[in-house]
Amino acid sequence: MHFFLHMSKKSSTFVPEMRKIYLILFLSVLTLSAVSETRWDHITMRHEIRVGWGDQLFESLMWHNPTHITSTMPATYSEQYKENFHHYQHYWIEYQYRFAHWFGLGVMLDGSGVQWDDVVRDGQGVEISRVPNQNFYNLVLMPTVRFTYFHHEYVNIYSGFGFGLDVNGGTETNAQGKKTDIGAAFDITVIGVSANYHRWFWTVDFGGLYALKNANVIFMAGSRMINVGLGARF
* Span 143-200, pLDDT tens digits: 999 999 998 889 999 999 999 999 999 998 877 778 899 999 999 999 999 999 999 9
Domain-located, residue 84:
yes
Instruction: Please give the share of the chain, as a percent, with pLDDT higher than 70.
Output: 82
Domain-located, residue 3:
no
State the pLDDT at residue 9: 38
Half-sphere exposure (Cβ direction) of 227: Cα atoms closer than 13 Å? 32
Domain-located, residue 164:
yes
Q: pTM of the prediction? A: 0.77
With 70 as the cut, is the pLDDT of residue 27 above it? no
At 75, the pLDDT band (50, 70, 90 cuts) reads confident
With 80 as the cut, is the pLDDT of residue 53 above it? yes
**Could you tell me the CATH number of the domain that includes residue 220?**
2.40.160.20
CB 208 within 8 A of CB 89: no
Could you give the C-alpha distances from 8 to 5, 15, 174, in angstroms and in order?
Answer: 9, 11, 23
State the pLDDT at residue 188: 96
Sign of CA dihedral 72, 76, 82, 85: positive
213: Cβ contacts below 8 Å, ≥ 6 apart: 2, 168, 181, 182, 183, 184, 219
Question: Of 11-20, 47-56, 129-138, 139-148, which gets the smallest average pLDDT?
Answer: 11-20
Domain-located, residue 4:
no
CB 108 within 8 A of CB 93: yes
Pairwise CA distance, residues 173 & 186, whole Å: 24
Domain-located, residue 109:
yes
State the pLDDT at residue 172: 86
Domain-located, residue 67:
yes
Percentages (nearest 5) of helix, strand, coil residues in the chain: 15, 60, 25
Which H or E run includes 133? strand 127-150
Pairwise CA distance, residues 58 & 60, whole Å: 6
Number of domains in the chain: 1
State the pLDDT at residue 151: 84
Phi, psi of 176 (to 5 degrees): -95, 5
Antiparallel, parallel or unpaired: β 200-212 and 181-197: antiparallel
Domain-located, residue 147:
yes
Domain extent for 165: 9-233
